[in-house]
Amino acid sequence: MYRLAHLSDIHLGPLPSLSLRELASKRVTGYVNWHRNRRRSMFGDTLTDLVLDLKAEAPDHIAVTGDLVNLATKKEIAGARIWLEQLGLPHDVSLVPGNHDAYVPGALKRSFEAWNEYLVGDNPLAAIGNSFPYLRVRGKVAIFGVSTAEATAPFFATGSFRRGQALGLARLLESCRSTGHFRVVLIHHPPISGAASWHKRLIGKQFFSKVIRDVGAELVLHGHTHLDTLYWLDGTDGKKVPVVGVPSASQSPGTDKPAARYNIFEIDGGPGEWSLVQRERGLHESVDGIGWVRERQLLSDGRAVDARPREDMKPAEKPVRTFG
């Protein structure tokens, strides 16, 4: 059995001091938003406790689907590199960037340079100048990273997935279909119509869905919405591909968004007979500490079958948001 952990939307805090030059950009709106909203609900011990708990679970690999920082300042990007090193070795952690990692023009380039080893595939020479899509093979699992991150105008958090990246992803997915690997695609923005509001949507999601429909995948993981969601895309041979989102890893309880959580996916079996179980672990609204939230099996016919709770699972106060 292979165990893949997924967390997203780290939003490392607190914000460092910003110069007037740094504030003379879109960053000023993000700066105000942080101090009015996120500073109270996304700073404290939540992220530290969640990561310690994740490490205690000892997954085989960790996937991080973006938004390590808030305003993509040089100090934030450097601090995120230190956080990644504490999370795990580049071989054991796969990262894709989010819109906050590309907050202003030039930021994504700096992020890529600082976090390079976590953002490239097994053959980095094939990705000089452009790392995406990348491919990493870890045992029976093949991990594909795509980037939707781009600098946008104030009050927008859209992402884009263009035709060139779609063609590259299709080639890589096809190559690993022929080798019989379990294929996991990492993307920041949800590639689903209506999953995010219009000003936060993914532009080019039709290219992504076409790739999955034409060559298939076994699992798609995303962040961005700070919600625990389950969608399905059409794959090959009549199969459905689960598209799973996860709450922010820094979110404290007591807001309109689910508290911090991470997923562990247990992958077993082989080509044509894969078994995929999603186990959710995180904070509860009314119980101190981190515990199990739920466990369910994701089937290729588009069903999510809840498993009987384990004895150590604590019931969540609020139901998990699931969208078919």
Q: Which residue has the tokens 């995929």?
A: 276
Q: Tokens standing for 7?
A: 């967390």
Going by DSSP bridges, is the β-strand pair 182-186/219-222 parallel, antiparallel, or unpaired? parallel
Per-residue pLDDT of the chain (324 residues; tens, 9 = 90+): 999 999 999 998 765 555 555 555 565 565 456 555 554 555 568 899 999 999 999 999 999 999 999 888 888 999 999 999 999 999 999 999 999 999 888 899 999 999 999 999 998 665 555 679 999 999 999 999 999 999 888 888 899 999 999 999 999 999 999 999 999 999 999 999 999 999 999 999 999 999 999 999 999 999 999 999 999 999 999 999 999 999 999 998 888 889 999 999 999 999 889 999 999 999 876 667 898 899 999 999 999 998 755 544 444 443 343 333
Say how far apart CA 264 and CA 61 lie, in whole Å: 10
Q: Give pLDDT, residue 317.
A: 40
Going by DSSP bridges, is the β-strand pair 61-64/141-145 parallel, antiparallel, or unpaired? unpaired
| Within a domain: 260 | yes
| Within a domain: 224 | yes
- Answer for the pair 186, 63: CB distance below 8 angstroms, yes or no: yes
Q: Give pLDDT, residue 277.
A: 97
Identify the CA nearest to 188 among candidates 223, 159, 227: 223
| Within a domain: 270 | yes
Dihedral of the alpha carbons of 220, 113, 37, 25, in degrees to the nearest 10: -120
Residue 235, domain CATH:
3.60.21.10
Say how far apart CA 200 and CA 209 lie, in whole Å: 18
| Within a domain: 6 | yes
Tally the domains of the chain.
1
Q: Give pLDDT, residue 323.
A: 34
Structural domain that includes position 169:
2-306
| Within a domain: 220 | yes
| Within a domain: 320 | no
| Within a domain: 315 | no
| Within a domain: 28 | yes
